[in-house]
Amino acid sequence: MLPTPTTSAPISTAATATVTSAVRRVLLINPNTNAATTARLSNVLTPHLPTDCEFIIKTARFGATYIACEASHAIAAHACLDAWADWRSQNTGSLDGVLIGCFGDPGLFALREASSCKVTGLAEASFLLAAQHGPFAIVTGGERWKPMLERLANSLGFGEQLRHIETVIPSGAELQANPEMAIQCLTDACLQAARGDVRSIILGGAGLAGYAQTLQARVELPLIDSALAGLKIMLSGMAPPPVRQEDGFYATWNNLPKSLSKLGRQ
């Protein structure tokens, strides 16, 4: 079982490699304002980074402690754009990718439109990996996520392969805070999800990063950890390529933070 990280340990903004021109830089954004979730993502993903890659990790400046509804998801999309623009406005050099550390990918389409590098999120990455096995199911925390994830799967072209979604009553934040309860709830949900022609199960949620490895011995079907899926898709080249050569927006802004306004209309 993964230990639950504490919020007291500072999160390094750059991990694993001495920065050289050959190092790939990936901006990992936690759209939740919960530092424990950022710590969990960092603790789970950093050991899997290759030596030629570094993470730049940012936590949303505003929004929900843990995204759990339509409104918090909408605010998180703004917070992701804000985090990306803030880093871009203060740093030189290129980014090789942006990974949205939420199984709901808030701001995915907006960031992809505005950024000159690859952008993906935990949900899209998980769908890409799961689809390689065939039809798939999702297990996640929080009842309100079901219609939101169905809509996202449809918009990304995976609606026909997504068979069903099992949501457990505790939110991702509550599951993150109580590992023993999380393992029991998630095991039951995974066993329920393993029906019909399902070929794999996505364990979705930044707060659930690392649990798939613990649960795999209890479930016959392959379990896909959404956080590890995000890293794999980003580094393997499977993420959709950027659609523009320079960062920027198509709209003209009023009354936005300088970081967003600085990028301007391109």
What type of residue is 227? A
Domains of the chain from N-terminus onward: 24-121+233-263 (3.40.50.12500), 123-227 (3.40.50.12500)
Cα–Cα nearest to 136, from 190, 208, 216: 190
Q: Token digits for 99?
A: 């990974």
Pairing outcome for strands 97-100 and 136-141: unpaired
CA dist 61 and 21 (Å) reads 29
Identify the band that residue 14 occupies on the pLDDT scale cut at 50, 70 and 90: very low
* Poorest-pLDDT segment among 14-18, 35-39, 100-104, 151-155: 14-18
pLDDT of residue 9: 35
Residue 112, classed as helix, strand or coil, is: helix
CA dist 86 and 105 (Å) reads 19
- Reported as a single tens digit per residue, the pLDDT across 199-234 is 999 999 999 999 999 999 999 999 999 999 999 999
CA dist 224 and 147 (Å) reads 20
- For tokens 């805070």, the residue is 177
Answer for the pair 117, 94: CB distance below 8 angstroms, yes or no: yes
- Reported as a single tens digit per residue, the pLDDT across 134-191 is 999 999 998 899 999 999 999 999 999 999 999 998 877 788 788 888 899 999 999 9
- Reported as a single tens digit per residue, the pLDDT across 108-130 is 999 999 999 999 999 999 999 99
